[in-house]
C-alpha cells in the first residue's frame, strides 16, 4: 500500500463522520483542552493510523530533518550553507526558539497523539484480529517516536544534565487529568518503549503483516533491537535481532543489487520504509534535494569520510559518491531520485545484522565476526580478521552513512564529535558530555508547560 493511500485514508477520515480536523490530530505535549473525536469502526482506526504514517514522512521528521540532524552533527557530513539550511545544526548552536527543535518536537508528538487515539480506542466495530494488528502498529510507532525524541532531546550524554533528563512519555490523547505531563527519566523512556513493543508483539500476527511501508512483526523486532543496542542492553538486542534474522524474510543486498535498493520499493533488505510516490512526496524539502547538487544541496560529505573505505568498495563508487562542479563531495546513491519519489528507508536488514554482531561480541566473538563480515562480503570490501567494537562501528559507519545513525553511534559509546576538518566542520569539535549534544526543549513547549524543564545550557 503506497503513501498515496495513506493520504486518501486521512482525507476520507477528515471529511467523513468522525468529528475531527487535521489540526486536532496534531497535539504537542502541552495539549489543547477542547477536542471532540468519535472513533467507532476499524475503518476509523485505519484512517488515524494512515495519518500517523503520513506524519512520519514530513520533512521535520523522517522526511528529512531527523536524518540530517544526525549526519551534520557527526564525522560524515557538514552543511555548506548553500541555502542556509542545517547551518546551526552543524555548528551545534541550536536555540530553544529555533524552528528545528520546535518543528521536530511538535511533529514527533503528533505521531504519538495519533498512535494514542488508536491504542486507547474501545468498543470498535470490525474484525478483532485486524483491530489488534493496528493497535500493535500504533504501539510500535509510539515506542519509536519516544525513542527518537529522547535521542534528540534527552540529557543522557550531557554531564550534569537536567534531571529528569528524558522526555514526557505520553500514553493518552489530551487527557484532562494530564494536560501538562512532566519529563520522564531516560531509563523510564527506555523501559516504556520496550514494554510498548512487547505489548505490540503480543497482539500482532505475522499473517496480518502488511508491506514494508507498514510496521510488521519483523519491523517491531528490528526497532526493539535498535532501542536495546542504543541503551547497551545486549541481551535484548541479540534476541530481537535474531528474531528478524530467523524470520528468513530478508537478505543482505548483494553487490550487484545494492545500489538499486535505494530506488526500489520493498527491496530485499528493507524492513521498514516510508512510502513516497510521484504525486505525494516532500518535493524540494525532501532528502534528495538537500544531498544532491541542487538549489539547496546543503549537506555535503566530509572529505575525510572517503578515507575509511577500500578503494574498490562499491559504497564510494560511481553509484554512490560524486564530486560536483564546485568540488563538493556528494552522496548521490541514497535518496537518488530528482523526482523525490524514492521510499525512505527507516531500518534495513544490514543494520540488524550489525546489531546482532555487536550484541554477540562478548558472548561469542566467532559468531560476531561471521555476521560482521556478511556486509563487506557483498560490498567488494576486505573482510575483517577480528570482531572488535571498533571494527563493528567502522562497518556501521560505512554501511549506514547518510541514514541518520552516525551521531547516535558516537555518543552511545561515550564519544563526542571529532574535528576532522576545521574548514568544513564549523563546530570546532564537541567533547562527550557537552550540553549541546542535546537539542534544547523548544520554547513553544517550555513556556506553556512548567512541568517540562529546559535542558542544561539553554
Q: What is the pLDDT of residues 8-57, one digit of tens each?
A: 444 334 333 333 334 444 444 544 333 446 789 999 999 999 999 999 99
Please give the mean pLDDT across all residues of the chain. 92
The pLDDT tens digits for 321-364 are 999 999 999 999 999 988 899 999 999 999 999 999 999 999 99
Q: Looking at per-residue confidence, does 98 or 428 come out higher?
A: 98
* Per-residue confidence (pLDDT) for residue 274, from 0 to 100: 95
What is the arithmetic mean of pLDDT over 80-84? 95
Cα–Cα dist 53/46, whole Å = 11
- Main-chain dihedrals φ then ψ at residue 356, nearest 5 degrees: -65, -40
- Main-chain dihedrals φ then ψ at residue 396, nearest 5 degrees: -60, -40
Q: Looking at per-residue confidence, does 428 or 363 come out higher?
A: 363
* Per-residue confidence (pLDDT) for residue 177, from 0 to 100: 79
Whether 139 contacts 199, CB under 8 Å:
yes
Cα–Cα dist 196/184, whole Å = 15
C-alpha closest to that of 395 among 350, 344, 332, 330: 350
Q: How far is CA 100 from CA 116, 151, 232, 403, in A?
A: 24, 15, 28, 18
The pLDDT tens digits for 204-249 are 999 999 999 999 999 999 999 999 999 999 999 999 999 999 999 9
Amino acid at each position: 500500500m503506497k503513501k498515496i493511500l495513506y493520504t486518501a485514508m486521512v482525507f476520507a477520515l477528515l471529511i467523513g463522520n468522525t468529528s475531527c480536523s487535521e489540526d486536532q490530530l496534531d497535539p504537542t505535549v502541552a495539549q489543547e483542552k477542547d477536542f471532540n473525536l468519535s472513533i467507532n469502526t476499524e475503518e476509523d482506526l485505519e484512517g488515524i493510523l494512515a495519518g500517523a504514517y503520513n506524519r512520519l514522512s514530513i520533512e521535520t521528521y523522517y522526511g528529512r530533518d531527523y536524518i540530517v540532524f544526525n549526519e551534520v552533527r557527526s564525522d560524515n557530513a557538514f552543511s555548506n550553507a548553500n541555502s542556509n539550511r542545517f547551518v546551526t545544526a552543524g555548528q551545534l548552536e541550536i536555540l530553544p526558539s529555533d524552528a528545528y527543535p520546535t518543528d521536530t518536537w511538535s511533529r514527533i508528538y503528533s505521531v504519538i497523539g495519533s498512535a494514542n487515539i488508536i491504542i486507547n480506542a474501545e468498543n470498535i466495530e470490525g474484525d478483532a484480529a485486524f483491530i489488534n494488528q493496528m493497535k500493535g502498529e500504533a504501539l510500535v510507532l509510539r515506542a519509536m517516536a519516544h525513542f527518537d525524541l529522547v535521542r534528540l532531546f534527552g540529557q543522557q550524554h550531557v554531564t550534569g544534565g537536567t534531571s529528569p533528563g528524558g522526555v514526557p512519555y505520553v500514553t493518552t490523547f489530551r487527557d484532562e487529568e494530564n494536560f501538562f505531563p512532566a519529563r520522564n527519566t531516560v531509563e523510564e523512556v527506555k523501559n516504556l518503549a520496550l514494554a510498548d513493543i512487547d505489548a505490540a508483539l503480543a497482539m500482532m500476527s505475522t499473517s496480518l503483516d502488511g508491506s514494508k511501508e507498514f510496521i510488521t512483526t519483523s519491523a517491531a523486532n528490528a526497532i526493539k533491537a535498535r532501542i536495546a543496542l542504543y541503551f547497551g542492553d545486549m541481551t535484548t538486542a541479540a534476541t530481537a535481532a535474531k528474531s528478524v534474522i530467523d524470520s528468513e524474510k530478508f537478505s543482505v543486498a548483494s553487490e550487484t543489487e545494492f545500489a538499486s535498493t535505494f530506488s526500489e520499493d520493498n527491496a530485499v533488505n528493507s524492513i521498514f520504509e516510508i512510502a513516497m510516490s510521484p504525486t505525494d512526496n516532500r518535493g524540494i524539502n525532501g532528502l534528495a534535494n538537500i544531498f544532491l547538487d541542487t538549489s539547496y544541496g546543503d549537506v555535503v560529505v566530509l572529505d575525510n569520510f572517503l578515507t575509511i573505505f577500500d578503494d574498490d568498495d562499491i559504497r564510494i563508487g560511481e553509484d554512490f559518491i560524486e564530486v560536483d562542479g564546485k568540488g563538493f563531495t556528494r552522496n548521490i546513491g541514497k535518496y537518488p531520485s530528482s523526482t523525490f519519489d524514492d521510499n525512505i528507508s527507516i531500518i534495513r536488514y544490514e543494520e540488524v545484522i550489525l546489531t546482532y554482531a555487536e550484541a554477540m561480541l562478548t558472548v561469542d566473538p566467532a559468531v560476531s565476526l561471521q555476521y560482521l563480515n556478511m556486509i563487506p562480503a557483498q560490498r567488494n570490501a576486505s573482510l575483517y580478521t577480528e570482531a572488535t567494537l571498533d571494527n563493528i562501528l567502522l562497518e556501521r559507519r560505512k554501511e549506514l552513512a547518510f541514514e541518520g545513525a552516525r551521531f547516535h553511534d558516537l555518543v552511545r559509546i561515550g564519544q563526542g564529535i571529532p574535528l576532522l576538518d576545521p574548514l568544513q566542520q564549523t563546530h570546532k569539535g564537541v567533547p562527550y558530555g557537552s550540553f549541546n549534544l542535546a537539542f534544547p526543549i523548544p520554547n513553544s513547549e517550555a513556556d506553556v508547560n512548567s512541568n517540562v524543564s529546559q535542558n542544561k545550557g539553554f
